[in-house]
Amino acid sequence: MKNLNSVFEAYLIGWGVFFLFYVSIAKRTSDLRAEVERLKNALPRGK
């Protein structure tokens, strides 16, 4: 089927961009969660 490759390319790259963005949010969230724990432990009150 003519141009089917272009259609798959568009959908796969599009989904790839969304997936990578979600992974970047998850990674940043995980880093911040670790930082919150570190800071809470560093504070003497143990907030």
Partner 1 sequence: MGKRIVLGAVAILLVIAAAYASFYVAPEERTMGVLQRIFYFHVASAWAGMDAFLLCFIANLLYVWKRDQKYDWLGVSSAEVGLVLTTVVLITGPIWAKPAWGIYWTWDARLTSTFVLWLLYVSYLLLRTLIEEPERRALLSALFGIFAFIDVPLVFFSIRWWRTQHPAPVIMGGPGSGLDPTMNKVFLFSVLAMHVLAAFLIVERYMLEKMRSEVDTLRREAEAQ
12-32 burial code (b ≥16 CB/10 A, e <16): eeeeeeeeeeeeeeeeeeeee
Chain-centre distance of CA 13, in angstroms? Answer: 16
- Helix residue ranges, H only, 1-47: 4-42
- For residue 11, the minimal CB distance to partner 1 (Å) is 6
Told to check if 46 binds partner 1 by CB under 8 A, we report: no
**What character string, x for contact with partner 1 (CB under 8 A) and - otherwise, covers 6-45?**
xx-xxx-xxx-xx--xx--x--xx--xx-xx--xx-xxx-
Q: Which residues of the chain form contacts with partner 1 (CB under 8 A)?
A: 1-4, 6-7, 9-11, 13-15, 17-18, 21-22, 25, 28-29, 32-33, 35-36, 39-40, 42-44, 47
